[in-house]
């Protein structure tokens, strides 16, 4: 029992170290948000041909070394390259097909596969440098220069990872020549160090350019999907996220149900007409704040126009959706201080639809929730009604 507990503690500690190292290696110099960080990581692994050519040059060099030396180290090099390439390729495929949590694991594995490859590559070039065979030394020099340049270009999105990879892949060759050759070969090691340092500076400059571009792109992306008055997501974001939830329900076995809530404010028009648009805007911002306070962090509240809001509640059953609707009605119905001479009161009507089965369409869900909202309005306002069940509105 104690041994099992110790093994579990060791595994937990290793996982903590693994993820801490991953976060450090992938940390950008500025604009460190989850979205920008993921975009930087993804951009690095989108270029697969560079990985393939790196493996081909390594295997070609290792085969040449095997023929010329008959030693075992080229065999070990070839096997390691093939294993690492298979692992990297498998995780690249996972990024394209797996859900978000599994994608992050695949990214982390790819980062450490990259470190392992740079160590393997550097050791291979070190062996070439110390072999004493002119052809292998020339091939090692070409490979080292090419690898450092390739890493500087490909790893501009992750400069910490790129720097470590360049050190492991680029310096062993020059060090090997210094150990094996004449004392003047120290200059080769010095030149390799200068080359690596220069490529690091180039990589950092490219990182800054890439970072500014991605940040601008993400800022525009958010602006296009955010309601400027309430700062809630808008209809564009709603449609994208709802499509994602429907796709997950259709493609992921055992995916949980989720709910769509349509909200329409009762009495808002009277306040807006009587006290003006500025007061109406203040009231809408206050309502948005209460909606956000009444739902979970993972839930999504969108303003889709006027006094209408739509909420997406992942991993939510019909009974849970009814509970949230009741809480929203209570919260929104409390008095508001909007800067006029007295408090104002409004209400809200809520219609909901729950997606439980594969085949649900985004528009079908919205239609069902909207029909339920009309029923709530007809029932006297300030109430919640559930939509018909099933993708066909049974």
Alpha helix stretches (DSSP H) within 130-257: 134-154, 159-180, 186-224, 235-251
pLDDT at 86 over 60: yes
Name the token pair of 286: 């206050």
The beta-carbon contacts of 328-333 under 8 Å, at least 24 apart in sequence, are 328/261, 328/263, 328/290, 328/291, 328/294, 328/295, 329/382, 329/383, 329/384, 331/290, 331/291, 331/293, 331/294, 332/263, 332/265, 332/287, 332/290, 332/291, 333/382
Q: What is the mean pLDDT of residues 56-80?
A: 94
Question: What does the alpha-carbon distance between residue 59 and residue 85 come to, in Å, rounded to a whole number?
Answer: 11
**Is residue 150 in a domain?**
yes
Residues 195 and 247 in one domain: no
Residues 369 and 276 in one domain: yes
- Residue 336: φ, ψ to 5°: -120, 140
Residues 45 and 189 in one domain: yes
Q: Is the separation of the CB atoms in 205 and 191 below 8 Å?
A: no
Residues 89 and 202 in one domain: yes
Residue range 133-174, pLDDT digits in tens: 999 999 999 999 888 988 888 888 999 999 999 999 988 998
Of 224, 244, 268, the last residue of a domain is 224
**Is residue 394 in a domain?**
no
**Is residue 303 in a domain?**
yes
Question: What does the alpha-carbon distance between residue 302 and residue 291 come to, in Å, rounded to a whole number?
Answer: 10
**H/E element, 74:** helix 73-97
Distance of CA 393 to the CA centre of its chain: 35
Percent share of the chain, pLDDT over 70? 93
pLDDT attached to residue 183? 72
Residues 307 and 370 in one domain: yes
pLDDT attached to residue 374? 94
pLDDT attached to residue 235? 94
Cα torsion 39, 43, 48, 51: sign: negative
CATH number of 332's domain: 3.30.70.270
Closest to 188 in 3D by CA, of 140, 121, 124, 153: 140
Residues 217 and 265 in one domain: no
**Is residue 106 in a domain?**
yes
Closest to 387 in 3D by CA, of 235, 243, 261: 261
Residues 309 and 201 in one domain: no
Name the pLDDT band for 81 (thresholds 50, 70, 90).
very high
Residue 257 DSSP symbol: P
| pTM attached to this predicted model | 0.71
Q: What is the mean pLDDT of residues 344-362?
A: 92
Residues 107 and 219 in one domain: yes
Q: What is the mean pLDDT of residues 29-44?
A: 83
**Is residue 392 in a domain?**
no
Residues 332 and 295 in one domain: yes
pLDDT at 275 over 50: yes
Residues 193 and 255 in one domain: no
Which domain range does residue 220 map to? 2-224
Which residues, at least 6 apart from 372, have a Cβ–Cβ distance to it below 8 Å?
262, 351, 352, 353, 385, 386, 387
Percent share of the chain, pLDDT over 90? 57
Of 160, 193, 224, the last residue of a domain is 224
Q: Is the separation of the CB atoms in 189 and 129 below 8 Å?
A: no
Q: CA 106, 108, 112 angle in degrees (round to 5)?
A: 115
Of 170, 194, 224, the last residue of a domain is 224
pLDDT at 391 over 70: no
Which residues, at least 6 apart from 15, have a Cβ–Cβ distance to it below 8 Å?
none
pLDDT attached to residue 394? 43
Average pLDDT, the chain: 88
Q: What is the mean pLDDT of residues 15-44?
A: 86
pLDDT attached to residue 393? 46
Residues 372 and 253 in one domain: yes
**Is residue 22 in a domain?**
yes
Residues 244 and 113 in one domain: no
| Beta bridge partner(s), residue 385 | 351
**Is residue 327 in a domain?**
yes
Name the pLDDT band for 62 (thresholds 50, 70, 90).
very high
**Is residue 230 in a domain?**
no
Provide the domain count of the chain: 2
**H/E element, 120:** helix 100-129
């Amino acid at each position: 029992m104690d041994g099992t507990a110790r093994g579990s503690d060791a595994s937990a500690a290793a996982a903590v170290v693994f993820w801490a190292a991953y976060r450090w290696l992938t940390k950008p110099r500025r604009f460190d948000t989850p979205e920008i960080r993921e975009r930087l990581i993804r951009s690095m692994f989108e270029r697969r041909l560079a990985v393939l050519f790196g493996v081909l040059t390594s295997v070609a060099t290792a085969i040449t070394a095997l023929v010329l030396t008959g030693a075992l180290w080229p065999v070990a090099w070839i096997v390691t390259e093939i294993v690492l390439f298979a692992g990297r390729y498998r995780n690249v495929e996972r990024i394209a097909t797996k859900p978000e949590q599994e994608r992050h694991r695949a990214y982390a594995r790819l980062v450490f596969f990259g470190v392992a490859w740079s160590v393997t590559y550097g050791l291979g070039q070190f062996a070439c440098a110390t072999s004493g065979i002119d052809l292998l030394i020339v091939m090692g020099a070409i490979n080292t220069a090419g690898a450092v340049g390739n890493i500087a270009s490909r790893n501009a999105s992750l400069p910490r990872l790129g720097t470590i990879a360049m050190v492991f892949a680029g310096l062993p060759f020059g060090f090997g020549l210094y150990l094996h050759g004449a004392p003047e070969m120290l200059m080769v090691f010095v030149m390799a160090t200068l080359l690596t340092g220069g490529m690091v500076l180039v990589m950092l400059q490219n990182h800054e350019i890439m970072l500014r571009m991605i940040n601008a792109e993400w800022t525009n992306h958010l602006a296009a999907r955010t309601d400027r008055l309430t700062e809630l997501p808008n209809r564009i974001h709603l449609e994208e996220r709802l499509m994602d939830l429907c796709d997950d329900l259709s493609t992921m076995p055992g995916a949980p149900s989720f709910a769509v809530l349509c909200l329409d404010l009762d009495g808002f028009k009277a306040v807006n007409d009587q006290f003006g648009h500025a007061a109406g805007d203040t009231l809408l911002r206050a309502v948005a704040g209460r909606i956000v306070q009444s739902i979970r962090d993972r839930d999504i509240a969108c303003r889709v126009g006027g006094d209408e809001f739509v909420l997406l509640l992942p991993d939510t059953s019909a009974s849970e959706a009814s509970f949230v609707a009741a809480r929203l009605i209570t919260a929104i119905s409390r008095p508001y201080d909007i800067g006029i001479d007295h408090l104002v009161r409004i209400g809200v009507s809520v219609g909901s639809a729950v997606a439980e089965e594969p085949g649900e369409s985004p528009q079908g869900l919205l239609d069902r929730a909207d029909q339920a909202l009309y029923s709530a309005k007809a029932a006297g306002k300030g109430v919640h009604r559930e939509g018909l069940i099933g993708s066909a509105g049974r």
